[in-house]
Structure 1
Amino acid sequence: MKRIYIIISMLSFMFASCSGFLEEYSQDTAYVRGYEDLDELLLGSVYMPTNAPEHMGYTYGTDGWYYPYIHLMTDEVQENIRSSSSGALWDARERYFGYYTWQQQVGIDALGTSIRKESSDWNRIYKHINIANMILASIDEQSTPKEEDELEVMRIKGEAYFLRGAYYFILVNLYGKPYTKTGAKNDLGVPIKNTEYIEDKVYGRNTVEEVYAQVLADLGEAEKCLEKTVHKSIYRADITATYLLLSRVHLYMQNWEMAESYAKKVLSKQDDLRDLNMMEGIPFFLDTTLPEVIFTMGMGGIRYTISGLPKDLGISDELYALYKDNDLRKSYFVKYNESGGYVEYVKGGAIADFSRTSLSANFLFRTAEAYLNLAEATAYQGKEDDARKALNDLRVKRLSVEQYANSEESGADLIKLIREERERELCLEGHRWFDLRRYMVCEKQPYTKTIRKSYTTFEYVSWTNVPVQTVVYQLEENDAAYTLPIPKEVLEYNTGMKNNERGVRPVVETINY
């Protein structure tokens, strides 16, 4: 007998967190009383939950953060090994060691003696997709006696399509190679499952091209459904969020004209930016009053991990060096801690403010990205005046007005500046890992780099964490480890599913203290 192996088909989950209106169901149908029930299901089980922010080490394998390791794998953060009387309570370097140092088995611990669960994000995201499938299968059957009912049904339908497209986009960028027009036809992405019922089959992987086609199809349906609906809040997707995601998807696919077009559509709807020259009375940059927020879902709280504590992580020297002295983000996004001797991430407020669950650290849409998408897409097309204008429209709100001057770069220097501006502006919002991947295969000015990560062991002596030994790992240019392996649990259950091959990651340097 064939077994149903891929975790996206687990019926028990599909209804476990639902309200009483889903208590009666068969394998492929669910009893609902109206579209309001489907809206409740959408909000509670398809959107990423907004949980209390916690240290990412603490949330390993729980329903807290989604794919937090994308922050650890980039060049944005580095470990802090300074001596101190106190250290991090939850060591993210240890709990995400295999991701942090790009190991062949990402679930492996620092000692190489055990393998942690690797499929948490795969499971949760496919579960969201499954419930979106259920909603899309039922939504057109709901009664709409009034025009406002029809609009509500269209909104629910549009949000479900948006979320399904967004989730496939996340998955293919975690587990598939970066999109190229020549390679996408054969490169393996992730399985596509759009049926609401359980299928008795072992799943294989669709190609990167097929997954991107699904993403565009879903977002196209979302666009049609949401263009006439009312935006409920920043916690619900709307037409502006759809435009921004379409701009990002086309940017990744190197469809420059479409990326430009959708970025302009975003800015025609919402072009607000917070002027850092006028921050008086505003304690920190990221909050629900930020006028440039378009959409957010999922957990915040990264500030509690990028803390600079020993056995923890802080802003990398490389990222900090990108901010010039006239850049106000050097105070409001990152800040040098004089007493501690390290760089803090301050964009989101206090380290351990557990009440700040309002904005996501992985899934936050801001108008700043639209300006950057527009600048990049037009620069690649040779529309340098348009690119400089989009870039300067952002920079004038980020640099000290007393020292501000418009960018005049052109050619390769302009593209380099746009990419650096993206790194500065969107730091630790979940973009950098995906940007590094797509720059590698960019037809216009391809770029790749070597990244080094250190892992230090400490001895606790006289109430102080003292570093004992540091080992260094290196991610090479164009490294296969820019693509995650398929979770081992998924491979075990889906016999024959092909993995993403990546080599053993050796220590390249050892430092003893």
Structure 2
Amino acid sequence: MKYQNKYITATSLLILSLLLGSCKKYLEEKPNNAIPSTTAITDAGTARAAILGAYDGLQSYYSADYITLGTITADNVGFNGTLSEYLQLDQNAIPADNVITVSVYQKIYSTINSANSVIAGLPAVTDPLLNQTEKNKILGEAYFIRALSYFDLARGWGGVQLQLKPTADINGIKGIKRSTLSQTYDQVLADLVQAEQLLPEDDSNTRNRAQKSTTKALRARLNLYRENWADAVTYATQVIDKPKFALVSNYKTFFTAPFLSTESVFELTFSANDQNGYWSVWYPSSMGGSYTLKPSASLISKINNPAVGGSRKSLIDGTGNSVYGVLYNTTGVSIDPSYLIRIAELYLIRAEAKAQLNDLSGALTDLNIIRKRAGATPLTSGTQAEILQAIAEENSIEFAFEAHRWFDLVRTKQAGKVLGLTNTNYWLFPIPYSDILSDPDVVQNPGY
């Protein structure tokens, strides 16, 4: 889906119509970098353009930098380039002006603002070309996008400022103090509840737009992070039971043709005109890449062990000191999807939650479904602690180059043991220094 191109085209037309219709107001001061939210969404066309703009916001931070935050900071991926911003992440010595964390933080808030504009402006639209069903769908998508964005902020930065109304300039968020982590997650839940009520039942062919199952999947993940084990089982099961979703028989298939496989619960798609060039940081220079991110020696060892990695060795290529990751592999056309939620994650969410509830047999069953698909050796028994550790290892390998490992180590409080990062202050990223300077209501995370 060409989220970006469609959004730019529609927005350009909207700006032109606004300019032509308001020449007599040329003396009024208007923001020069935004369309006022009160006038941006006026009919079916602008409503559709606005929601595509919100999806484009997700693309802007999920096509590269957010995945980097979830990988290079942990133990599966290391730094192999020359740029200091990546080295800082790799060493978990991140200053408040790190280019990547600043970019992600600001892009997420920009995405939230786009969703806020839809939520605020859409209810008043009365275009006969926009029936109530479509109107509900667009509004539900906006609530889901805001939920996902705040979830991603919370697990990276902790409790944040909850900006729930569209803003045209910096003054719009002044006076909003940081919420607690629990309050931030409460807002995520509230948005997911709204989204589920508004969104349509699943279309079997749609995997790159929010639907009811998408909200349930994120709700399962949210409950895992909040340690609401029974609810995590409930919502994971509701997604797993949908016939629309199934593990592909060959692990490699989900990230090679065709995209939008049965594995995918939610992904962001790209095209030749709306490219995702993230492959370049994984590939060596001989293949056109910068080779900035490199699989760690420990991951290579695990993934090449048939009993552990099984068919997941297809995630890497090369030999010796030149092993590289190939999850993002469309080197010629740059159209790799961003994989946000896969059905494999729902099985492992349910496995972990069952283990925490002491349903060890159920946990092993779900864990072994993932191991069997990969051709890895099944786990037949174990204590609760051993099974939880096996699930953690499975997550690490199954999603080796997706935005999971760092966040999993933090939420399970294993970042100290695994990474040697015993100062828990550094389990959160720093709030950008520029935001601290510009807004006295923004309090920096401890340690920065």
Asked if TM exceeds 0.5, the reply is: yes
- 1:176-325 equivalences under 5 Å are 176=158, 189-197=159-167, 199=172, 201-228=174-201, 230=203, 233-269=206-242, 270-276=244-250, 285=256, 288=259, 290-297=261-268, 300-307=276-283, 312-323=292-303, 324-325=305-306
The equivalent position to 1:397 in structure 2, one of 365, 373, 376, is 373
Aligned partner of 1:78 in structure 2 is 78
- 1:95-494 equivalences under 5 Å are 95-107=85-97, 119-143=102-126, 149-176=131-158, 189-197=159-167, 199=172, 201-228=174-201, 230=203, 233-269=206-242, 270-276=244-250, 285=256, 288=259, 290-297=261-268, 300-307=276-283, 312-323=292-303, 324-326=305-307, 327-335=309-317, 337-338=318-319, 340-349=320-329, 353-360=331-338, 363-399=339-375, 404-405=377-378, 407-440=380-413, 448-451=416-419, 475-494=420-439
1:289–1:119 distance in 2 versus 1, CA, 3 Å:
closer
1:368–1:50 distance in 2 versus 1, CA, 3 Å:
same
Give the partner amino acid of 1:273.
L
1:244–1:293 distance in 2 versus 1, CA, 3 Å:
same
1:105–1:376 distance in 2 versus 1, CA, 3 Å:
same
Give the partner amino acid of 2:90.
Y
For 1:481 and 1:375, locate their aligned partners in 2 and report how far apart those are by CA, in whole Å. 28
1:448–1:261 distance in 2 versus 1, CA, 3 Å:
farther
In the TM superposition, residue 207 of structure 1 has moved relative to its aligned partner by 1.3
Deviations 1:206-259 (A, max 9, x none): 111111110000011111111446467322111121111110011000000111
For 1:200 and 1:257, locate their aligned partners in 2 and report how far apart those are by CA, in whole Å. 36
Equivalent pair of 1:480/1:501 in contact (CA under 8 Å):
yes
Quick check: 35-44 or 24-33, which moved more? Answer: 24-33
In the TM superposition, residue 499 of structure 1 has moved relative to its aligned partner by 0.7
1:138–1:229 distance in 2 versus 1, CA, 3 Å:
farther
1:48–1:407 distance in 2 versus 1, CA, 3 Å:
farther
Secondary structure in structure 2 of the residue aligned to 1:413: helix
Equivalent pair of 1:50/1:358 in contact (CA under 8 Å):
no
1:49–1:207 distance in 2 versus 1, CA, 3 Å:
closer
In the TM superposition, residue 447 of structure 1 has moved relative to its aligned partner by 6.9
Equivalent pair of 2:10/2:45 in contact (CA under 8 Å):
no
Equivalent pair of 2:53/2:114 in contact (CA under 8 Å):
no
Equivalent pair of 1:99/1:107 in contact (CA under 8 Å):
no
Aligned partner of 1:6 in structure 2 is none
1:437–1:284 distance in 2 versus 1, CA, 3 Å:
closer
Equivalent pair of 1:292/1:366 in contact (CA under 8 Å):
yes
Aligned partner of 1:84 in structure 2 is none
Secondary structure in structure 2 of the residue aligned to 1:370: helix
Aligned partner of 2:11 in structure 1 is 18
For 1:263 and 1:129, locate their aligned partners in 2 and report how far apart those are by CA, in whole Å. 26
Give the partner amino acid of 1:76.
N
For 1:172 and 1:345, locate their aligned partners in 2 and report how far apart those are by CA, in whole Å. 28
When you count helix as a share of all residues, which structure comes out higher?
2
Equivalent pair of 1:18/1:45 in contact (CA under 8 Å):
no
Secondary structure in structure 2 of the residue aligned to 1:294: strand
For 1:450 and 1:389, locate their aligned partners in 2 and report how far apart those are by CA, in whole Å. 26
Structure 2 unaligned residues grouped into runs of 5+: 1-6, 23-29, 31-35, 270-274
Equivalent pair of 2:425/2:447 in contact (CA under 8 Å):
yes
If the length of structure 1 is used for normalisation, what is the TM-score?
A: 0.72
For 2:126 and 2:37, locate their aligned partners in 1 and report how far apart those are by CA, in whole Å. 20
When you count strand as a share of all residues, which structure comes out higher?
1
1:293–1:76 distance in 2 versus 1, CA, 3 Å:
same
For 2:390 and 2:321, locate their aligned partners in 1 and report how far apart those are by CA, in whole Å. 28
In the TM superposition, residue 293 of structure 1 has moved relative to its aligned partner by 1.0
1:386–1:273 distance in 2 versus 1, CA, 3 Å:
same
Structure 1 unaligned residues grouped into runs of 5+: 1-13, 52-61, 81-90, 109-115, 177-188, 441-445, 452-474, 504-513
If the length of structure 2 is used for normalisation, what is the TM-score?
A: 0.81
1:31–1:293 distance in 2 versus 1, CA, 3 Å:
closer
User: What percent identity do the matched residue pairs reach?
Assistant: 25
